[in-house]
């Protein structure tokens, strides 16, 4: 299968590209190389005859039409998006332009191509989204997000992703475009851009800096190892039912404080502080993010029952692997720390 992957130089997109190539697919990686993208993420497959890179912006409809016509993909995996909640608070316009208008352009370019090649039933437009579109859950762990949960986005980021989800469903219902959708929980793992919580904690700890935790650290997230996620995405692309959505979760709920304390314990073991004390001494509680959702948790019953998928990596295993990856790949993350806004506190405006 030839797959057009948008955002393939980003965190999740690059994991999809690497796994797709390993599975024998051809990949066209479309990426605008904005601040959070890095071609080093796909360096391991860059010389493969099954891999092609196209530097293009999903806001550029003419470029999209050219890429579809030139490469004639069998499927699209649409991951390109602005994704950092804090940045969306400071600059929501970029999120609307990329996540909403960009998705509209992708849908129209895909529809034009699909019609031109005779509307093949095998074609799929796979839209990759987030559990944040569902809003905030109570701390009662008996309540979880399902595919039937009403949308209730609370940040500019989640609102832009909710909008894009609605567009994809509308293009399926109105025009018959073959689509599948997935909504995932928080990802982590190798190549995670160093402005998100887990890499921030690891790198700040190593630098002797404060480990910032919003509010009192009680916010709960479900953590999904990125390579497990990529495996699920490729499965949904090939086996998911046309027009259906699937929630992809890690089955690993942790409070932010628990998560940070776990990372500190791993670092205590792998790279002890010179004074012999724990990295927990660096934990600092900071002013909470505006509109910070209390809890996200995914019920993955549909993808487990219908497609037979479950995560293979526990949060303890995944965090240990992630910490080791950052310890082993200093050249990668140091090069990214100089990019605009990385390392700064963002999203404090109200």
Q: Residues 71-126: pLDDT tens digits? A: 999 999 999 999 878 889 989 999 999 999 999 999 999 999 999 999 999 999 99
**Catalytic residue selected from 157, 246, 296, 326:** 157
Clarify whether 131 is annotated catalytic.
Answer: yes
Strand partners for 77: 5, 126
Distance of CA 301 to CAs 2, 47, 247, 290, Å? 29, 38, 8, 32
**Catalytic residue selected from 86, 132, 253, 299:** 132
pLDDT for residue 349 is more than 60: no
Rounded Cα distance between 227 and 90, Å, is 30
DSSP states of 163-175 as a string?
A: HHHHHHHHHHHHH
Nearest to 109 by CA among 54, 56, 66: 66
Clarify whether 157 is annotated catalytic.
Answer: yes
Burial status of residue 284 (CB atoms within 10 A of its CB: 0-12, 13-18, 19 or more): exposed
Q: At what angle do helices 256-270 and 197-207 cross, to 10 degrees?
A: 40
Read off the pLDDT of residues 272-301 as tens digits, 9 standing for 90 and up.
999 999 999 999 999 887 878 889 999 999
**Catalytic residue selected from 54, 86, 131, 299:** 131
Clarify whether 132 is annotated catalytic.
Answer: yes
Please give the average per-residue pLDDT across 240-263, as a whole number: 97
pLDDT bin (cut points 50, 70, 90) of residue 57 is: very high
Provide the strand spans (E) within 114-192: 124-130, 179-184, 186-188
Rounded Cα distance between 38 and 336, Å, is 8
Radius of gyration of the chain, Cα coordinates, nearest whole angstrom: 20
């Amino acid at each position: 299968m030839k797959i057009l992957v948008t955002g393939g130089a980003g965190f999740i997109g690059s994991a999809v590209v690497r796994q797709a190539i390993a599975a024998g697919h051809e990949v066209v990686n479309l990426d605008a190389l904005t601040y959070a993208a890095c071609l080093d993420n796909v360096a391991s497959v860059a010389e493969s005859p099954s891999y092609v890179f196209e530097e293009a912006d999903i806001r550029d409809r003419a470029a999209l039409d050219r890429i579809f016509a030139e490469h004639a993909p069998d499927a699209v995996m649409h991951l390109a998006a602005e994704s950092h909640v804090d940045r969306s608070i400071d600059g929501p316009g970029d999120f609307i332009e990329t996540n909403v208008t960009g998705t509209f352009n992708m849908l129209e370019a895909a529809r034009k191509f699909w019609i031109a090649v005779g509307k093949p039933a095998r074609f799929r437009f796979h839209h990759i989204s987030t559990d944040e579109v569902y809003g905030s859950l109570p701390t009662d762990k008996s309540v979880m997000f399902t595919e039937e949960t009403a949308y209730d986005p609370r940040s500019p980021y989640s609102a832009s992703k909710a909008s894009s989800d609605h567009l994809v469903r509308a293009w399926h219902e109105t025009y018959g475009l073959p689509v599948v959708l997935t909504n995932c929980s928080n990802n982590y793992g190798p190549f995670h851009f160093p402005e998100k919580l887990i890499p921030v904690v690891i790198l700040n700890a190593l630098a002797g800096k404060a480990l910032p935790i919003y509010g009192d650290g009680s916010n709960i997230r479900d953590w999904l190892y990125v390579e497990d996620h990529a495996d699920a995405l490729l499965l949904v692309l090939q086996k998911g039912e046309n027009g259906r959505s699937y929630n992809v979760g890690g089955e690993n709920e942790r409070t932010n404080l628990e998560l940070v304390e776990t990372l500190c314990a791993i670092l205590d073991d792998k790279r002890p502080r010179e004074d012999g004390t724990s990295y927990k001494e660096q934990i600092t509680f900071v002013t909470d993010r505006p509109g910070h959702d209390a809890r996200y948790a995914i019920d993955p019953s549909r993808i487990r029952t219908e497609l037979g998928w479950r995560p293979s990596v526990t949060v303890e295993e995944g965090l240990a692997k992630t910490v080791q990856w950052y310890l082993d790949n200093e050249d990668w993350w140091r090069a990214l720390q100089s990019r605009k806004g990385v390392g700064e506190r963002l999203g404090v405006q109200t």
